[in-house]
Structures are given as C-alpha cells and as structure tokens.
Amino acid sequence: MSKNPYYSGPVSDHFDGTRFFISGHTNDKSRADLLKWRMETRERAIWPKSWPSPFSDAPPQRVEGAQLRVSYIGHASFLIQTQGLNFLIDPVWSERASPLSFVGPRRVNAPGVAFDKLPPIDAVLVTHNHYDHLDMATLRRLVARNAPIVTPLGNDTIIRRAIPQARVHAYDWMQHHDFGGGVRAHLVPSYHWSARGLFDRRMALWASFVIETPGGRIYCIGDTGYRDGAIFRDVKMRFGAPRLALVPIGAYAPRWFMRDQHADPEEAVKILRDCAAQTAVAFHWGTFQLTDEPIDEPPRLLAEALAREGVAPQRFLVKRPGEFAWID
C-alpha cells in the first residue's frame, strides 16, 4: 500500500510508487545540509522591510487573437492574456509565503495587480506545492470566482482537502489540458521538488507549463535548477522555440545548497539560449526573501551575464511588480 497521501497511481519512469523523481537527477538536500546552511555557513543579505514597486497594473478584461500581454504580479505570479483567455500563474496575494500567517517569508512589495482589479480568470496554473507558489488563501478567493485550477499530479488532493469545491484538473508530465481554439497547457519537467511539510518530500509532482496557442508558445518554467539543461532543449525540440519564456533568476544563494533547485542569473541566460525563446521575462526575485543574495543582485547579475553572452537586454526583460509588457 502506498505511503503517499496525495497520489496512488502506477509506477512510471518518474514515480516509484511513493515519490516522484527525475531519473539520474534526484539530489535531495538532507536536514543536516539545511542546518549547515542555516547555522554554520549562512551569510544572509539584509533586505529592506519594504521595497515597494512604483507600478500598479489595471489589466484589460480580455486580449484577443495573437496579441500577448503579460503582467508581473510579483515573485512567481503572472497574469498572461492572449486568445481571449486569462491565465494566472502561481498566484500569491498573501502577505507571507508560509503555512502560518504570523511567521515565514513576508512580502516586501504589494502584488502588482490589486485582487479586485483582476479580469475574469479562465485558468489558474500551479506549478508545484511550495508555499510561495501554491497559496491556499489566494486559491480560495479565486475558486470563489469560479476559476478552475490546472496542476501536476497530487496537488489536486492537497487543494481539494482545503477547498472541497475547487475545480482542479491534475496531470502528469507530457499530458495536457485543452482549452479549445487551439490553446493547450502542456505539463513538462522542471529540475525541482515538492513538499508541504517535513515528511511529504516529492510526494506531489512539480512541473513547468508550455501554453500552446495559435499565436505561439508560452513557456512558464516555475522553479528549476539548470543542471545539464536537457529539459530546456527538449522543450524547443518538442514544441518549437517559445514566443515567451518566464524564467527564474533569483533565490540562488548559496550555490552549494541551491544549485540543484534554483537557477542563478547566468544559468537563466543558458535557459533562454537552450529553449531559444524569442523573449524572456524574469521572475522569482525581489518580493519574498527565501535565500541569501541581496534583493537587487539578480537583475544586476543578469545584465552582466547578458552582456557577456552578447544577448540584447530587450530579449530578457526584468520587470517590477505592476509592470506589464506586450510581447511581439
């Protein structure tokens, strides 16, 4: 009998009956590693208690046809509008990325779109179950607005236990959800992991999304390390070069601890190169302090990496919460 409380499907090349994994790449950090980082080697930069963005977006109700508008909410949260559909990626409107309301990483800037200014949401795409990506308080508010949720295997159980009325569609890697009109959300691997507590590591699946549309592909990467880069090259091979990629650039220090799960700015440029995205937008920096780097270091290091690699800065956009971009 499976010891997995979230999922009890068949064994596969990335599920052993209890835990999910990426063959040849699973490299869990131990509690001893965590203690070493927190107690012995940590050199944590001091973030400001408040770092407000000067921007605030009021999105349109719909963006029709091949036009593509992306609004940065903050951290890993985006609103994507195209083909008359509105997608929210990893929405977090809570004050803390934590299971508790009084402790844990606290946001230093407000969401870039006020919740009551959101347009109708056609789908919420949740990449994995870490608290800075799967925020139950925000999902509860979106479910009250009748928004369906698309997520990897096992996360449906987690969400329904907290929000029984939620409409949740759960998929494995290389499966997809069809929205009609030639729009599909494909789930593909990322180099990451999952957990909501101390004893459920890798018991729910994690994923990136490739949103296929008649106007091009949108690669929503979520959290990932770089490792050998194979999964990013595979996206290009399977789906073609994305029109837009949302690429993480932060939460990378110290490298000995974070390398396998979070890309740094130099690796973010490699991801851009590997998947051959026409345009990238950076995320996973500047809202919740999860790791040790200074709050403004990720975009500075990204600019240096782009210059070294001869990549035009307008190909890899860095936005503050509340900024948006129209993607060619």
State pLDDT tens for residues 257-286: 999 999 999 999 999 999 999 999 999 999
Residue 47: inside a domain = no
On whether residue 95 sits in a domain, the answer given is yes
Q: Is the pLDDT at 76 greater than 90, yes or no? A: yes
> How much is the pLDDT for 36?
73
The 10 Å Cβ neighbour count of residue 256 is 12
Query: Is residue 20 in some structural domain?
Result: no
Q: 193 and 222 in contact (C-beta within 8 Å)?
A: no
Rounded Cα distance, 163 and 161, in Å = 6
What's the CATH number where 294 sits? 3.60.15.10
Phi and psi, residue 71, nearest 5°: -115, 130
Instruction: Let me know: does 65 contact 83? Beta carbons within 8 Å.
Output: yes
Is residue 299 one of the residues assigned to a domain? Answer: yes
Question: If pLDDT is split at 50, 70 and 90, which confidence band does 29 have?
Answer: confident
* 198 within some domain: yes
The pLDDT, as a whole number, for residue 33 is: 67
pLDDT tens column, 163-200: 999 999 999 999 999 999 999 999 999 999 999 999 99
pLDDT in tens, 247-259: 999 999 999 999 9
Q: Tell me how many domains the chain contains.
A: 1
d(CA 25, CA 245): 23
Please report the pLDDT score of residue 101 as a whole number: 83
Q: What is the mean pLDDT of residues 31-56?
A: 83
Say how many residues make up the chain. 328
What are the counts of helices (DSSP H) followed by strands (DSSP E) for the chain? 7, 14
Predicted pLDDT of residue 24:
83
Domain ranges, residue 228: 58-326
Mean pLDDT of 111-130: 98
Tokens 């990013």 found at = 232
What per-residue confidence (pLDDT) applies to 28? Answer: 82
Asked whether residue 25 is domain-assigned, the answer is no
CA-CA distance, 153 to 2, in Å (whole number)? 15
Distance from C-alpha of 64 to C-alpha of 258, rounded to nearest angstrom: 40
C-alpha to C-alpha distance for 252 and 273, rounded to whole angstroms: 19
156 φ/ψ angles, rounded to the nearest 5 degrees: -60, -40
Q: Residue 11: inside a domain, yes or no?
A: no
Asked whether residue 236 is domain-assigned, the answer is yes
pLDDT tens, position by position, 204-255: 999 999 999 999 999 999 999 999 999 999 999 999 999 999 999 999 999 9
Structure-model confidence comparison of residues 138 and 32, the more confident one: 138
Per-residue confidence (pLDDT) for residue 171, from 0 to 100: 98
